[in-house]
């Protein structure tokens, strides 16, 4: 052993081949924190001073190679001055440059995930051997930055500009077959052969079969294009990436700009170009928001892990109520390996639920994500039932019948008698009080809410709702089941609408008020979509279902009459009366026709303006700023109320709930992060401009107090 630290060890064998082993003490994964970078630097210095080295293999003692930079530590870098951050980046570059300048061939033995800085270490080596089960990639654009340790410099030179732009701008983790096809690695082998294969490459250099020096020269040289070639490559890439990234996410376009400049420069100059562009992104608001989201996501997963610790896994689930939602729950459970009974009282509903699940499995097969055999096996995990025959073996039941308090109470009381005493009963209600539903049960401690979002297979969030009598054991088992289904559970306390719908309906109320003032819903939709929402409020209401929104609105009005009750008919009431329920029956604010793939395509018909005319009580001119403010203010204030009333435990859980549940624009980092970025005083001043619109636009007393004291929802 010629070097031994807490994260890096170096040993040299009898043939003069060194192995640098990454093994960060006390952690389950390798990551680049200050300790690892410092020790890697010392290890490379040791190698530089070692005589007669024949080659160096970079390997990992853990299941992963390197997952990337330690993001919590990396965030502190973003707060440094430009000069200090430049120095930090240069220090990291110096390590990787020293690796690429070692006087012998270097090989990365990629046994598992190599992402971000881990991938940049891989790129600094002469050769790369990858396990067939491993994944590699540069996901930095997903955090609002781009690779800052040589990724934009080395990757285009290795795999070509087109491929590098796709890898870096898309930020995806690449499987071994794709990495090999694009030329990012030199060999793909079984996991247990990775280090042997790396050693074999060094032997080939020693035998004169491979020329690592020629390869280095080639990969360091500026890339040569004619002006017309360069223009055609980058204009094409810019068009594709720009359309996908949109104006709110600058990192992918900044990465293209850096690569366009860097490929024609020497290695040293290209690194300086990368550093300069990186600093600009790192200091921007989008990076701050997206890094905060990443940390919030880690925090809520950690919280869920603590809550589910010790829970016995669900080995047999059941869902009551088939149809689209029941079929979605059944598919998600079976696809992740938990068998599920799908019960309904009608055969046609069961057929619809099975058809929905089958369609989703077929989609996975068509996309190459599942083999036909695996899809059939998973589909067999769904057992349709018209009776409670098999329910005595069920660990957890998801009730997903119609959103009506009396029907739900009746069904829940009925199923409680058919299941084991320790089985958990949950309701997939979107608004109805769990404490109220529990009144129909003999064992309310074994009951909680489990609110899925539609479509179940796409939406990552599950709200787990704690009623007054819900036990910790019931929460633990439900959280564990949500995790087993591949979902992100957030535990909230009971109230009308819980977290997501309680916050969403003031947003819809802001929209309804504008409609009463004669606003054009298409203009509102386009404005909010430009602002970053996946769909505007009118379109969202059509997707949710106008009938669903109408009933939920009544629950919210009863629960919070001081601010959610409205006088007279609004647009949702009017559409409900006209039986225009949205996508589900082909007409709502928009009308819908199937496109070529059979998906509903929205179409605007002039007749809707006439149909909505009775709800218009005045005509107000609204600017884009007015529309955004009138939609966002009630949503943000209601999110704060949920935090203040302890409906949700933390700012992170509130913000991730909105991002995962209703598509709150990620570049803003969530409602509470948005308030922090804007400044509470500035927000309160803005809300006061609209105070004439009612209590939904009134900040809470605590918000005003926090504003006065310059406090934030996230610690600085």
Nearest-5° Cα angle at 300, 288 to 144? 20
Task: Phi first, then psi: give them for residue 49, nearest 5 degrees.
Answer: -95, 5
d(CA 400, CA 456): 12
CB of 560 within 8 A of CB of 496? yes
Q: Which residues pair with 127 in a beta bridge?
A: 107
Q: Which residues contact 439 (CB under 8 A, 6 or more apart)?
A: 409
Measured in whole angstroms, the distance separating CA 693 from the mean position of its chain's CA atoms is: 34
Residue entry with tokens 């589900």: 584
Instruction: Let me know if 451 is a catalytic residue.
Output: yes
| Continuous segment of H or E residues that includes residue 36 | helix 34-48
Q: What's the number of CA atoms in the CB half-sphere (13 Å) around residue 575?
A: 29
d(CA 229, CA 209): 34
Residue 454 burial class via C-beta count within 10 angstroms: exposed 0-12, middle 13-18, buried 19 and up? middle
CA-to-CA separations, 323 to 346, 356, 384, in angstroms, rounded: 10, 8, 12
d(CA 443, CA 241): 54
d(CA 257, CA 103): 33
636-664: burial string, b at 16+ Cβ within 10 Å, e else: bbbbbbbbeeebbebbbbbbbbbbbbbeb
The total of other beta-carbon atoms located within 10 Å of residue 593's CB is 9
Q: Is 607 left (phi over 0), alpha (psi -120 to 50) or beta?
A: alpha
d(CA 116, CA 151): 8
The residue among 524, 534, 599, 582 whose CA lies nearest residue 591 is 582
Alpha helices (runs of H) in 532-650, residue ranges in sequence order: 537-544, 546-559, 561-564, 571-577, 607-612, 624-644
CB of 670 within 8 A of CB of 656? yes
290-326: burial string, b at 16+ Cβ within 10 Å, e else: bbbbbebbeebeebbeebbeebeebebbbbbbbbbbb
Q: Of the listed 93, 451, 551, 673, which one is catalytic?
A: 451
Task: Phi first, then psi: give them for residue 388, nearest 5 degrees.
Answer: -90, 20
Q: Which residues contact 565 (CB under 8 A, 6 or more apart)?
A: 557
d(CA 126, CA 210): 11
d(CA 585, CA 596): 18
Nearest-5° Cα angle at 259, 111 to 275? 80
CB of 637 within 8 A of CB of 698? yes
CB of 459 within 8 A of CB of 661? yes
3-state class of 491 per DSSP?
Answer: strand
Task: Phi first, then psi: give them for residue 385, nearest 5 degrees.
Answer: -150, 140
Task: Phi first, then psi: give them for residue 140, nearest 5 degrees.
Answer: -60, -35
Q: Which residues are known to be catalytic?
A: 451
């Amino acid at each position: 052993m010629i070097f031994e630290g807490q994260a890096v060890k170096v040993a040299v064998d009898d043939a003069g081949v060194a192995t640098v082993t990454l093994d960060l003490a006390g952690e389950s994964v390798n990551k680049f924190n200050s300790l690892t970078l410092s020790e890697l630097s010392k290890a490379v210095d040791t190698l530089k001073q070692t005589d007669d080295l024949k080659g160096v293999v970079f390997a990992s003692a853990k299941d992963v190679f390197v997952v990337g930079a330690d993001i919590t530590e990396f965030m502190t870098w973003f707060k440094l001055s430009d000069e200090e951050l430049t120095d930090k980046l240069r220090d990291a570059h110096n390590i990787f440059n020293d690796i690429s300048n070692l006087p012998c061939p270097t090989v990365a033995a990629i046994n598992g995930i190599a992402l971000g800085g881990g991938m940049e270490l891989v790129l600094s080596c002469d050769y790369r051997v990858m396990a067939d089960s491993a994944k590699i990639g540069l996901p930095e654009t997903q955090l609002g930055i781009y690779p800052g340790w040589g990724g934009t410099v080395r990757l285009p030179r290795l795999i070509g500009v087109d491929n590098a732009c796709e890898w870096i701008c898309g930020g995806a983790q690449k499987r071994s077959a794709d990495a090999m096809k694009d030329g990012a690695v030199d060999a793909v082998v079984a996991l247990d052969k990775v280090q042997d294969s790396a050693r074999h490459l060094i032997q080939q250099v020693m035998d004169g079969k491979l020329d690592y020096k020629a390869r280095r020269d080639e990969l360091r040289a500026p890339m040569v294009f004619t002006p017309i070639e360069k223009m055609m490559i980058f204009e094409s890439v810019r068009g594709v990436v720009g359309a996908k990234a949109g104006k709110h996410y600058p990192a992918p376009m900044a990465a293209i700009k850096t690569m366009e400049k860097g490929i024609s420069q020497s290695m040293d100059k290209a690194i300086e170009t990368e550093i300069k562009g990186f600093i600009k992104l790192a200091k921007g608001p989008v990076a701050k928001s997206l890094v905060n989201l990443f940390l919030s996501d880690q925090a809520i997963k950690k919280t869920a892990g603590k809550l589910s610790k010790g829970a016995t896994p669900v080995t047999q689930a059941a869902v009551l109520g088939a149809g689209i939602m029941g079929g979605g729950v059944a598919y998600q459970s079976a696809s992740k390996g938990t068998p599920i009974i799908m019960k309904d009282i009608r055969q046609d509903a069961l057929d619809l639920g099975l058809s929905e699940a089958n369609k989703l499995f077929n989609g996975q097969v068509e996309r190459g994500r599942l083999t036909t055999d695996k899809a059939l096996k998973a589909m067999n995990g769904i057992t349709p039932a018209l009776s409670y025959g098999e329910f005595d073996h069920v660990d957890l039941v998801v009730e997903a019948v119609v959103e009506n308090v009396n029907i739900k109470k009746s069904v829940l009381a009925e199923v409680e008698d058919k299941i084991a005493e320790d089985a958990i009963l949950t309701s997939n209600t979107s608004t109805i009080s769990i404490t109220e539903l529990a009144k129909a049960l003999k064992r309310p401690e074994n009951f909680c809410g489990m609110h899925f979002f539609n479509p179940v297979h796409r939406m990552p969030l599950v709200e787990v709702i704690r009623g007054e009598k819900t036990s910790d054991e019931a929460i633990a088992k439900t959280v564990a089941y949500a995790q087993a289904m591949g979902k992100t559970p957030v535990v909230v306390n009971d109230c009308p609408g819980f977290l997501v719908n309680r916050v969403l309906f003031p947003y819809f109320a802001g929209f309804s008020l504008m409609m009463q003032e004669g606003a054009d819903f298409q203009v509102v939709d386009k404005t909010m979509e430009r602002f970053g929402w996946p769909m505007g409020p009118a379109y969202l209401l059509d997707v949710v279902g106008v009938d669903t929104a109408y009933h939920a609105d009544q629950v919210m009005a009863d629960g919070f009459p001081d601010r959610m009750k409205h006088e007279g008919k609004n647009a949702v009431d009017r559409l409900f009366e006209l039986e225009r329920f949205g996508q589900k029956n082909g007409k709502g604010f928009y009308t819908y026709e199937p496109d070529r793939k059979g998906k509903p395509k929205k179409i605007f018909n002039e007749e809707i303006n006439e149909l909505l005319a009775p709800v218009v009580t005045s005509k107000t001119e609204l600017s884009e700023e007015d529309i955004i403010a009138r939609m966002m203010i009630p949503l943000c204030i209601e999110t704060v109320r949920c935090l203040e009333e302890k409906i949700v435990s933390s700012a992170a859980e509130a913000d991730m709930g909105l991002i995962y549940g209703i598509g709150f624009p990620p570049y803003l980092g969530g409602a509470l992060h948005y308030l922090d970025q804007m400044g509470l005083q500035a927000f309160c001043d803005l809300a006061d401009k609209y105070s004439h619109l009612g209590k939904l636009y009134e900040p809470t007393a605590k918000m005003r107090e926090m504003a006065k004291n310059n406090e934030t929802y996230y610690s600085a």
